[in-house]
Structure 1
Amino acid sequence: MMPLTKLLSRTVSSCFSSSNGRPFAMAAKALQHCRYSSAAAQVAESETEALKDYADYRRSLYGHITHKALLVDAVGTLVLPSQPMAQIYRTIGEKYGVEYSEDEILHRYRRAYSQPWGKSRLRYVNDGRPFWQYIVSYSTGCSDSQYFEELYNYYMTDKAWHLCDPEAEKVFNALRKSGVKLAVVSNFDTRLRPVLRALNCENWFDAVAVSAEVAAEKPNPTIFLKACELLGVNPEDAVHVGDDRRNDVWGARDAGCDAWLWGSDVHSFKEVAQRIGVQV
């Protein structure tokens, strides 16, 4: 690879020998690019060093681990829908007269879901049926009660969901053996527990904090504080992992917890465990 000084020298020389009348501009642009690249590398190196220093500081508090507890978001982090929502709404709805296309169902779903839920400050209260009846009816144009029940019950089964990380069980077992407590923290109705049981993962966790039961939805700090209370740890002892920057990262930090963004800060539960200081 050519040394940077020689590369710059050749670039500048070629600029001055060019006939386009803009030698100085070309040379300046090359030099500026190198400065930006160097600055970006220095920032990345500084961030890496800061993370290492922070991890070392946490381990000085707790021994070989950085946190006493791991809080995990459900949908988008622990579990994922097995089929697109609009496809399921359309497929189940055909025998009930649903005629909207999947694209139209998705568009109407997003519009309905983004609107304030006027009957409550919470979307999910207890089993969440009133909220979901509104969503399904608006999304599909079908208010048939049998259709709603079939769709509602489908999302309590292992057909509807699958684990995001196939190594999750092995990682969580290793974390618990190392003394790290685990909890699910989710904006969900009371169907979350049946979903976890259907996926055979409820016993992986020491606690489950569901917004419908806590009466607080992320990013409200209350739900994170409740999870810490259930685990018997202080908020500063816990790290939360989730895929939504606002709900998961900002909400957890407002509660006093550490937080990592799934898909950005961490990409697998094995990586989460390694950052905590547990080898899998």
Structure 2
Amino acid sequence: MFDVPSPRIRALLVDAAGTLLIPSEPVTEVYLRAAAKHGVKIQLSEREVLDNFRRAYNMPWGGSSLRYVDDARPFWRRVVALSVGSTNQAVFEDIYQYYSEGRAWTLAPGAAAALSRLRASGVKLAVCSNFDTRLRPVLRALRVDHLFHAIVVSAEVGAEKPSPIIFEAAVQQLGVKASECIHVGDDRRNDVWGGRDAGVTAWLWGQDVHSFDEVARRVLHMQQAGLFASWEDDE
């Protein structure tokens, strides 16, 4: 059940991967294609590669909770190696470069139009994402970077969701209060619980809201309701 926001909504924060950005291809196809390209024989099924990927991605990373530092190459090198069972450098570079490019990602349907509508209505917009430094080039390649007043990346902030630090950084960069923000993301722990701990209203993508058009309609409704409330208070 999604939160009932503060009556005065001034900003929308959105998660990147899994919400705003959708992988263009299954990760298993990308990994196995890169291995085949460089002559590395992988004796694993797609299902096994996917299971390995999920385990590797969720494994503790050293003594820190921060997986993405700068370009996050060490982290992703381990993920690729454990996923396909090979430390071949050419395979890793091929995969890493692929996910640096716009072709690796697709915008969620209707996202650009909905965000443009919100921005035109005076809503401040930010990406708030656990990602490495490739996020900005990806957003530029997809021609949506200009829609955002702030792009807040965990690798740059030095904190990952669900830490309130990254949400606080987004709020500060937008020049609003946490209570005036809605955050939308696909991870209950990172996006919903993390957002709420930071004082931000949080909606779970795929459950509380299902499309960017729906997000825009609800945010604009709340914004309008807040304006009416403020007018009544002034009278």
Say yes or no: TM over 0.5.
yes
Extract unaligned runs of 5+ from structure 1. 1-46
Percent of residue pairs identical: 54
Q: Aligned equivalents of 2:218 and 2:65: distance in 1?
A: 36
Alignment-derived partner of residue 125 in structure 2: 182
Q: Aligned equivalents of 1:155 and 1:266: distance in 2?
A: 27
Q: How does 1:1-280 map to 2 (within 5 A)?
A: 58=7, 62=8, 67-96=9-38, 97-99=40-42, 100-118=44-62, 120-165=64-109, 167-277=110-220
Query: What secondary structure does 1:159 align onto?
Result: helix
Alignment-derived partner of residue 7 in structure 1: none
Q: Aligned equivalents of 1:71 and 1:250: distance in 2?
A: 14
Query: What secondary structure does 2:75 align onto?
Result: helix
Q: Aligned equivalents of 1:172 and 1:82: distance in 2?
A: 21
**1:98–1:188 Cα change, 3 Å:** farther
Extract unaligned runs of 5+ from structure 2. 224-235
- Letter of the aligned partner of 2:18 in structure 1? G
- Letter of the aligned partner of 1:90 in structure 2? L
- Listed one character per residue, the Cα deviations across residues 94-119 of structure 1 (whole Å, up to 9, x for unaligned) are 13313132222112111212210115
- Listed one character per residue, the Cα deviations across residues 113-144 of structure 1 (whole Å, up to 9, x for unaligned) are 22101153311000000000111111112212
Task: Kindly state the Cα deviation for residue 204 of structure 1 after the two structures are TM-superposed.
Answer: 1.0
Compute the TM-score of the two structures, normalised by the length of structure 1. Answer: 0.75
Alpha carbons 1:112, 1:139 under 8 Å: kept: yes
Task: Kindly state the Cα deviation for residue 224 of structure 1 after the two structures are TM-superposed.
Answer: 0.5
Compute the TM-score of the two structures, normalised by the length of structure 2. Answer: 0.88
Q: Aligned equivalents of 2:37 and 2:22: distance in 1?
A: 26
Q: Aligned equivalents of 2:220 and 2:57: distance in 1?
A: 39
- Runs (4 or more) in structure 1 with deviation over 3 Å come to none
Alpha carbons 1:90, 1:98 under 8 Å: kept: no
Q: Aligned equivalents of 2:125 and 2:89: distance in 1?
A: 38
| Higher RCO (CA-CA < 8 Å; seq separation 6+) | 2
Q: Aligned equivalents of 1:243 and 1:156: distance in 2?
A: 21
Alpha carbons 1:98, 1:142 under 8 Å: kept: no
Alignment-derived partner of residue 41 in structure 1: none
Alpha carbons 1:98, 1:141 under 8 Å: kept: no
Q: Aligned equivalents of 1:104 and 1:276: distance in 2?
A: 41
Alpha carbons 1:242, 1:261 under 8 Å: kept: yes
Task: Kindly state the Cα deviation for residue 82 of structure 1 after the two structures are TM-superposed.
Answer: 0.8
Alpha carbons 2:118, 2:220 under 8 Å: kept: no
> Rg: which structure is higher?
1
Q: Aligned equivalents of 1:145 and 1:216: distance in 2?
A: 28
Q: Aligned equivalents of 2:106 and 2:55: distance in 1?
A: 26
- Listed one character per residue, the Cα deviations across residues 192-219 of structure 1 (whole Å, up to 9, x for unaligned) are 1111111111111110111101111111
Task: Kindly state the Cα deviation for residue 275 of structure 1 after the two structures are TM-superposed.
Answer: 1.1
Q: Which has the higher helix share?
A: 1
